[in-house]
Each structure stands twice: as structure tokens, then as C-alpha cells.
């Protein structure tokens, strides 16, 4: 029996019902201007599979095939692309920083910088059909928290984060309060006070370091005197550390 080897047979999708239902939902979502990402597509596909009583797991391969079959691609809404100054960055790493940090251990070199948490921010684009017109998107939310972070070069120590908020209300999402771990929340209306915050925080950091040094010296002297006065305690201590080796680390 002769067969046409050049003929391509169209394979039917195993999860045809899920794909068709998802395509209908996606069409309606695009018509309403909703923002749809890959994560949203996977969640909706899983939900439709449960409703249709289909054993289905939205994998990366399935998502790629679904987008190719429906001619769906990512379209950017807002924002502009910027390029970093790689030349200056390489110059800093190669020539400047070694001279500045000469004689200092990485653990003694600290970095203080601020970053923003745009807790109402939306994705910069959405999945759309290839024939859809470019959407202008919506206004970018400006609600933010400013995090001031302190850490040393090798990352062995990370100090508390100062959060500068422009609103007195707590940040909520879905009824769950949003708290920053090991942070101090400060409601400040003028950003000019940020330098004063840094000065106060560094002063507290110096006090913490000095207290730690003095406390360690005091404890070492007190322990040596106490062990000299009661020598049998050193024997008990050595036995205890031998039976519990993790305490001697």
C-alpha cells in the first residue's frame, strides 16, 4: 500500500474541551481589556479542567502549543526600555572599587540603598491575539513603599529595613495585612527627612556594635575569672561541649 509521506495529519488535542473553553474565556477577557499573563492562563485552565471534570495539568509545553495554535503573543502596554551604562559599571568593578576597599574585609564594607515596592503595580503587558490592536493600557499606579536597606559586601549581615510610606493607612491585599519583616515603618510626608533617618539609624548601629564588643569582652573576662575561681566548672563545661559538639561551633 502506497502512502503519501509528505502528507501531514492534524493531531487532535487530548484536552480539546479545555482548550476550546479557555479560548472562549480569553476572547472575552481581551474584549474587556483585562490583563492576562501566562500565570493567569494556567490558573484559568486548571479551573476549567476541574469544572469539566478533566484530568489536566497546564505544563509549559501545553501553554506554548496553545498560544501557537491561537496565535497569541505578549504585547507591552506601558513603560520604556532603558539600557544600563555597562562601560561605567565595568570601570567601577575593575579599577575604582579595588582601590576604595583596599585594606578592608568584605564583611566590614557596608552598602546602604533604597528601593521601591509598588504594591499596586500591574504587569507591563498582556497576552493578546495577533490581530488585536495595540492597547495603551492604564495609568501606572504610583502607590509605593520606600525600603532603605543595610547590608555588608559578603551578605553575612543584614540590618533592619526602614520603610518610608506616604500614607498612614496599612497596606492591605485581600484582607491580609502586609508587614515588612524586621522593619520600622515610618510615615513621612517630606523625603528631605530621609537623610536624618539614615543619620539616626547609623548612630543606633554604632551603639549596637560598641555594646556588642563591650559585652563580649565583659563576658570573656567574667567567665575566665569564674572558671579560675571554680576550676571544676571548666571540666564540666568541656564534658558538656564534648557531648554536645554543635554548641562549640
The edge-to-edge listing of strands for the beta sheet with 145-152 is 110-117, 145-152, 161-165, 183-187
What angle do helix axes 16-31 and 38-51 make, rounded to 10 degrees? 130
> Which residues are paired to 72 by β-bridges?
129
Low-confidence ranges of the chain (pLDDT < 50): 1-5, 7-11, 79-82, 166-192, 246-249
In this prediction, residue 82 carries a pLDDT of 46
Rounded to two decimals, the pTM is 0.40
In this prediction, residue 243 carries a pLDDT of 59
Query: How far apart, in whole angstroms, are the C-alpha atoms of residue 33 and residue 12?
Result: 30
Query: How far apart, in whole angstroms, are the C-alpha atoms of residue 233 and residue 224?
Result: 11
**CB count in 10 Å sphere of residue 36:** 19
Q: For 208-221, how does the pLDDT look when each residue is reduced to its tens digit (9 = 90+)? A: 677 777 777 777 77
Domain ranges of the chain: 16-73, 99-128+135-189, 203-248
Nearest residue to 41 via CA among 21, 17, 16: 21
Instruction: Tell me the fold of 16-73.
Output: Arc Repressor Mutant, subunit A (1.10.10)
Cβ-contact 206, 187 below 8 angstroms: no
In this prediction, residue 8 carries a pLDDT of 46
Q: Residue 21: CB partners within 8 Å, gap ≥ 6?
A: 48, 52
In this prediction, residue 10 carries a pLDDT of 46
In this prediction, residue 62 carries a pLDDT of 92
Query: How far apart, in whole angstroms, are the C-alpha atoms of residue 183 and residue 107?
Result: 22
Q: For 20-75, how does the pLDDT look when each residue is reduced to its tens digit (9 = 90+)? A: 999 999 999 888 878 888 999 999 999 999 999 888 889 989 999 999 999 998 87
Amino acid at each position: 500500500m502506497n502512502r503519501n509521506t509528505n502528507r501531514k495529519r492534524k493531531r487532535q488535542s487530548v484536552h480539546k474541551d479545555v482548550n476550546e473553553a479557555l479560548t472562549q474565556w480569553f476572547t472575552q477577557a481581551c474584549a474587556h481589556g483585562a490583563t492576562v499573563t501566562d500565570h493567569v492562563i494556567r490558573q484559568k485552565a486548571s479551573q476549567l479542567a476541574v469544572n469539566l471534570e478533566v484530568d489536566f495539568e497546564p505544563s509549559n509545553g501545553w501553554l506554548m502549543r496553545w498560544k501557537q495554535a491561537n496565535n497569541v503573543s505578549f504585547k507591552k502596554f506601558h513603560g520604556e526600555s532603558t539600557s544600563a551604562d555597562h562601560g561605567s559599571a565595568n570601570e567601577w568593578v575593575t579599577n575604582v572599587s579595588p582601590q576604595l576597599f583596599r585594606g578592608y574585609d568584605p564583611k566590614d564594607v557596608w552598602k546602604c540603598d533604597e528601593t521601591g515596592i509598588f504594591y499596586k503595580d500591574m504587569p507591563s503587558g498582556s497576552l493578546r491575539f495577533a490581530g488585536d490592536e495595540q492597547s495603551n493600557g492604564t495609568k501606572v499606579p504610583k502607590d509605593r513603599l520606600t525600603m532603605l536597606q543595610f547590608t555588608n559586601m559578603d551578605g553575612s549581615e543584614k540590618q533592619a529595613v526602614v520603610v518610608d510610606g506616604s500614607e498612614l493607612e496599612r497596606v492591605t491585599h485581600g484582607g491580609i495585612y502586609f508587614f515588612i519583616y524586621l522593619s520600622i515603618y515610618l510615615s513621612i510626608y517630606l523625603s528631605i527627612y530621609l537623610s536624618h533617618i539614615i543619620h539616626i539609624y547609623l548612630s543606633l548601629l554604632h551603639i549596637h556594635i560598641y555594646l556588642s564588643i563591650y559585652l563580649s569582652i565583659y563576658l570573656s573576662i567574667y567567665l575566665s575569672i569564674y572558671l579560675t575561681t571554680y576550676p571544676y566548672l571548666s571540666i564540666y563545661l568541656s564534658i558538656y561541649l564534648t557531648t554536645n559538639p554543635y554548641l562549640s561551633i
